[in-house]
């Protein structure tokens, strides 16, 4: 799901920079829904035995992780309403999309 959102985020950036906002908005909504799905993933009994890049911090701080996923979902919906009128598209994408990706990577993903 994370990989899917990352590739979708790159497409959001491309469409937004080209002014193709309706295409970008559809993808933003898709990403928002994906973040909601992530809230239900990582149940207690999945801490071991799966080949992922997820840190145990996800399980140790599950409420914080879920809050970040909800914030990311909410921010994607906010992004749909502000992107067309943004003076700085790149900065707006950073604020509402990429900053959530970075926050999750910094806290819940192994470095590679």
Instruction: Read off the pLDDT of residues 35-83 as tens digits, 9 standing for 90 and up.
Output: 999 998 888 877 765 667 788 899 999 999 999 999 999 999 999 999 9
112 pLDDT exceeds 70?
Answer: no
Residue-level pLDDT at 50: 63
Residue 32 — very low, low, confident or very high, per pLDDT cuts 50/70/90?
very high
Q: Is the pLDDT of residue 22 over 90?
A: yes
Q: Residue 77 has which token pair?
A: 């919906």
Residue 4: what pLDDT? 93
- Domains of the chain, earliest start first: 2-108 (1.20.120)
- Residue 29 Cα distances to 59, 75, 92, angstroms: 26, 10, 16
74 contacts: CB under 8 Å, gap ≥ 6: 32
DSSP track, 40-77: T-S-GGGSSSS---B-THHHHTHHHHHHHHHHHHHHHH
CA neighbours within 13 Å on the CB side: how many for 84? 8
Q: What is the mean pLDDT of residues 94-110?
A: 93
The whole-number pLDDT of residue 46 equals 78
Do residues 41 and 58 make contact, with C-beta atoms less than 8 angstroms apart? no
Task: Spell out the residues 6+ positions from residue 98 whose beta carbon is closer than 8 angstroms to its own.
Answer: 9
For position 109, what pLDDT does the model report?
A: 86
Backbone angles phi, psi at 37, to 5 degrees: -65, -40
């Amino acid at each position: 799901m994370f990989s899917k959102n990352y590739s979708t985020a790159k497409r959001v950036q491309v469409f937004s920079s080209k002014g193709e906002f309706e295409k970008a908005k559809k993808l933003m909504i898709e990403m928002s829904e994906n973040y909601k799905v992530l809230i239900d993933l990582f149940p207690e009994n999945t801490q071991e035995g799966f080949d992922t890049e997820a840190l145990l911090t996800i399980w140790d701080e599950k409420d914080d992780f879920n809050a970040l996923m909800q914030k990311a979902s909410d921010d994607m919906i906010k992004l749909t309403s502000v992107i067309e009128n943004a003076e700085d598209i790149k900065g707006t994408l950073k604020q509402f999309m990429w900053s959530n990706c970075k926050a999750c990577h910094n806290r819940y993903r192994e470095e590679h």
